[in-house]
Amino acid sequence: MATKLKSRKKIDQKRERGGKEPKYYEVFARKDSHSELAHVGSVEAPNDQLAQVRAWYIYDQHQWREMCVVPLEAIITVTEEGKSAKIKMA
Amino acid sequence: MVYTPGNPGSKLDENFENDLLAIADTKLVLGNWYAECTMNGRSLPDFAAILGMCTANYGHTRAIYQYLAAHGHEYDHVERGRGPEEICSSNLLDEAPSGWEDFIVSTWLAELSTWMLASGFLNHEDRAVAGIAKKIGQETYFHLKYAHGWFQIIGEGKTQSKLFQSAFAVRFPLSLQWFGPTRGKDPLHAAGIRDVPLKKLRDAFIKEVAKAETLLGSALEHDKSIKFAKDWRSDARRFGPMPDSLFEVVRFKDPGLAH
């Protein structure tokens, strides 16, 4: 096959997955300007740009008017202070 | 979806058709690159992103083929009836990627160059053409962002940066060549079919490429003067026929699946 990668797939977990532990982003979207911005899921990505693209293609069930991603580490829990927010994986 | 061939009597300008085919065929090969390399993605979300970019490129290709079919071409022939010597894809994608960094470099340059050429038709008098160009731009935004995300990661690794640089040194001249000779004729601009001169699009392409240096954290070394092969065909924007091994990958294998 002409377009298969010639070398074996090697993944640098730390660099390519965002650190020792995978880095997660929460995805929020709204269908139209009347709808609320709602949580639609999560994505794993090593940086903001890849999180944006991965979220866009994974959660493509609607033609979203607006979509945004928030790093999980940026979420400050209120009811369970000190614990990490719970995520819903795609 | 039922395909309606439109009015076969209305012929397009030959140079305009050539440019549309160059964009569509390059995107056909690019879509196949993504399809073939999906499993080389780094994680499950990466597979979804690569497949999304794959289908988007196939969509652009078929939209252009359908437009050509509405202007005197046989759709089946355009999509499935052409041999390797008739497909006008960029030489940039002739050779299979040698690794992940080469894959990122090549797909990024293919996305950017096809978008640059398509952007010249954003103000085309035919709304269908302007609409296709706009759609390509909207979707390429994410494809380029994908590459930019990877530049950051590649830039953090010494070996990866070196691999990126060596892939860039090979692929960049091929992508620049796609725009044709700097002092070549520009019949589409002269005829008013494209409102932006080709030289301006080429310069914008070089400028956009240079922006990657910030994300990579290093300078991209390249020679902007391109030597054109003797068998360069300006109508196809390539030299030589598509390699047989690549044609075997991209050729339409099951016409029944098309309906």
Residues 55..74 of A with a Cβ closer than 8 Å to B: which?
A: 56-58, 60
pLDDT of residue A8: 67
Measured between beta carbons, the chain A residues lying within 8 angstroms of B243 are 2
pLDDT of residue B223: 72
Q: Which of A57, A60, A63 should one mutate to test binding to chain B, selecting the residue with the greatest count of B CBs within 10 A?
A: A57
Distance CA B33, CA B106 (A): 10
**pLDDT range class, residue B6, cuts 50, 70, 90:** very low
Tell the residue number behind the tokens 């979806």, with chain if given.
B1
- Nearest CA among B198, B182, B191 for reference residue B119: B198
Distance CA B56, CA B114 (A): 13
The number of angstroms, rounded, from the C-alpha of B12 to the middle of its chain's C-alpha atoms is 21
**Which chain B residue lies closest to A58 (C-alpha atoms)?**
B48
pLDDT digits over B186-220, tens only? 999 999 999 999 999 999 999 999 999 888 888 88
Interchain CB contact of A89 with B (< 8 Å): no
Interchain CB contact of B253 with A (< 8 Å): no
Specify the higher pLDDT residue, B80 or B136.
Answer: B136
Q: Are A72 and A42 in contact (CB under 8 A)?
A: yes
Q: Is B227 exposed, middle or buried (0-12, 13-18, 19+ CB in 10 A)?
A: exposed
Distance CA B246, CA B227 (A): 24
Distance CA B152, CA B98 (A): 20
Q: What torsion do the CA atoms of B99, B102, B104, B106 make, to the nearest 10 degrees?
A: -140
Query: Hey, how many other C-beta atoms are within 10 angstroms of the C-beta on B64?
Result: 26
The number of angstroms, rounded, from the C-alpha of B16 to the middle of its chain's C-alpha atoms is 16
CB contact under 8 A, B97 and A54: no
CB contact under 8 A, B45 and A54: yes
pLDDT digits over B90-146, tens only? 999 999 999 999 999 999 999 999 999 999 999 999 999 999 999 999 999 999 999
CA-based nearest distance A72→chain B, Å = 16
Give the CA radius of gyration of chain A.
16
What does chain A come to in residues? 90
Query: Hey, how many other C-beta atoms are within 10 angstroms of the C-beta on A9?
Result: 12
Per-residue model confidence as pLDDT tens for chain A (90 residues): 444 555 666 777 777 776 667 889 999 999 999 999 999 999 999 999 999 999 999 999 999 999 999 999 898 888 877 777 776 554
What is residue A76's DSSP assignment? P
**Which chain A residue lies closest to B41 (C-alpha atoms)?**
A9
pLDDT of residue B4: 43
Interchain CB contact of B164 with A (< 8 Å): no
A63: its two tokens:
């033609």
CB contact under 8 A, B99 and A7: yes
* Coil vs helix vs strand at A13: helix
Phi, psi (rounded to 5 degrees) for A60: -100, 25
CB contact under 8 A, B96 and A4: yes
pLDDT of residue B188: 94
Tell the residue number behind the tokens 């008017």, with chain if given.
A65
Q: Which of A8, A50, A61 should one mutate to test binding to chain B, selecting the residue with the greatest count of B CBs within 10 A?
A: A50
**Which chain B residue lies closest to A51 (C-alpha atoms)?**
B149
- Nearest CA among B157, B110, B159 for reference residue B136: B110
Q: What are the helix (H) ranges across chain B?
A: 14-37, 44-69, 75-76, 100-119, 127-155, 158-177, 187-190, 198-216, 244-250
CB-hemisphere CA count at 13 Å for B175? 30
The gap between the terminal CA atoms of chain A, to the nearest Å, is 31
Residues pairing with A68 in the sheet: A28
Q: How far is CA B190 from CA A73, B122, B175, in A?
A: 55, 17, 24
- Nearest CA among B226, B242, B247, B243 for reference residue B89: B242
B249 closest CB neighbour out of A2, A5, A45:
A2
CB contact under 8 A, A54 and B49: yes
Q: Which of B148, B153, B216, B251 should one mutate to test binding to chain A, selecting the residue with the greatest count of A CBs within 10 A?
A: B153
